[in-house]
Structure 1
């Protein structure tokens, strides 16, 4: 369902845009104007502002003029009033969300984050989380883009929101991967509730759930934590196209794949701290060769 421009702006002002909605918001003609106002507004404290009185004052100034205003004057004044209202609204929202925190990692970088309730997030490479610190005790809710391992303290319901769905727990250890090409949840301790669309799945210790080609696949793991925490990526029956996208989370490099079949399935692993070793781990099982040209790797069939 297509969302109206007014709804996009309103949701942006309240930090409620989903990933897809934010992409649509950025395409609006007025996007740059709103973001500029937002940036400037961060440096101001919101004064008292009465919208009704301000509009009445504008109308009064118009009537005070003996010459009836033309349509251009009306449009100009309406535009000014709209900008003032938006600016003051943004200021108030920004001032009310000063405790909204975000963390992000770059390619090949990871970070450990301590949440207000002493829960711990190990954020994988090329990933981000964000949450509102103000009401954290009542609503332990955060948004994830990328991959992270969570060690959650017992307490109120803990929710991880992704573009694919929600993961909810009370106290447990689990890993979530939510990238634009992959969604996967693994429970290492306790239990996890995963909502995808209108379906709910319960994962117990050792359970793994993957969304692949719009299908839910479930399996088991004997590991006690995700492989990426040991600087290794492990993949099973994964297309070469997705393997290379995973690779780029840990190595700042591009691939030339015009001479290979990227739909071929790969099962294996690669390390995050040795480019040559990692490339061999991928190319040898698939009988491929590679050449490194500056920041590009050219793959070829033997």
Structure 2
């Protein structure tokens, strides 16, 4: 399930939606279905039901009926079985013992989260993590969308799941960026294991892993923490299209780029707390000009 969708559903189940989140929840494709399920679930008590046994009994009854109504009865019994299975699934959804915790940051905002084992997550801007608090003692798993720095206490395997793959450690410091336009992992202490496309990569201390346009590369890092924790973003040989997407994680602006070549490559950095300075850091090396019109930045070639 999409993490943002799961985040909204979890908050709805806990009656914790803000006004803005409620508006987003009502726009979900399955909103009407959730409301109907919620209403019916109030009166539903799950019977003692064994799906496999019920299906076997149904098949046995079908085979025993050798009449002209064979097809009709089969369809009827199959429909009954399907209804029972759906009802059982609904009950499981609304009556499980999981305790899903979700943390989300907005544009230009960061957050520090203390996990149940005292591991620490520094969540970067426009990012989200989610984990099952009730199962944490036995399974240290969380899901990340965006970017975060992890300081993991030693113990059982610690797993970060992303749309690209998994990162697994026992105890270390590392940073993961898993955005729609790219995937990066940097190890600052210990070592991490990266599982991508059924292949395993081991990243040692002060090493950096990048997956860009299906190409994997490794490099060294001289820093002791990720650039975003130092209020800046460092980019190397990155298309202007991706540069602006990264920029929008830290500044709430839109860009007008109809006259600009978005495939141009940029190498440099920009800071996160000064819009004018950040724009100059990007436009000057690429020989571009910019004009701020309310919340829109118009880029043009000189």
TM-score using structure 2 length? 0.77
User: Contact 1:38/1:91 (CA < 8 Å) preserved in 2?
Assistant: no
Q: Secondary structure at the match of 1:280?
A: helix
Structure-to-structure mapping, 1:8-87, within 5 angstroms: 31-37=30-36, 39-40=38-39, 44=42, 47-50=45-48, 86=86
Aligned residue number for residue 228 of structure 1: 228
Aligned residue number for residue 167 of structure 2: 167
1:274 shift after superposition: 1.3
Q: Which moved more, 1:155-164 or 1:97-106?
A: 97-106
Aligned residue number for residue 193 of structure 1: 193
Take 2:186 and 2:88, find their aligned partners in 1: how far apart are those partners?
44
1:33 shift after superposition: 4.2
Aligned residue number for residue 241 of structure 2: 241
Structure-to-structure mapping, 1:1-302, within 5 angstroms: 31-37=30-36, 39-40=38-39, 44=42, 47-50=45-48, 86=86, 89-302=89-302
Take 1:80 and 1:256, find their aligned partners in 2: how far apart are those partners?
56
User: How many residues align structurally?
Assistant: 259
User: Structure 1's 280 and 151: CA in aligned 2 closer, same or farther, altered over 3 A?
Assistant: same
User: Contact 1:190/1:205 (CA < 8 Å) preserved in 2?
Assistant: yes
Take 2:132 and 2:92, find their aligned partners in 1: how far apart are those partners?
16
Take 1:46 and 1:171, find their aligned partners in 2: how far apart are those partners?
44
Q: Secondary structure at the match of 1:134?
A: helix
Ranges in structure 2 where 5+ consecutive residues have no aligned partner: 7-27, 51-71
Take 1:170 and 1:45, find their aligned partners in 2: how far apart are those partners?
45
1:90 shift after superposition: 2.5
Take 1:210 and 1:160, find their aligned partners in 2: how far apart are those partners?
16
1:185 shift after superposition: 0.2
Take 2:102 and 2:189, find their aligned partners in 1: how far apart are those partners?
26
User: Contact 2:149/2:226 (CA < 8 Å) preserved in 1?
Assistant: yes
Ranges in structure 1 where 5+ consecutive residues have no aligned partner: 1-7, 14-28, 53-70
* CA RMSD of superposed structures (Å): 3.0
User: Contact 1:108/1:125 (CA < 8 Å) preserved in 2?
Assistant: yes
Take 1:250 and 1:97, find their aligned partners in 2: how far apart are those partners?
37
Aligned residue number for residue 66 of structure 2: none
Take 1:191 and 1:292, find their aligned partners in 2: how far apart are those partners?
44
Aligned residue number for residue 16 of structure 1: none
User: Structure 1's 210 and 78: CA in aligned 2 closer, same or farther, altered over 3 A?
Assistant: same
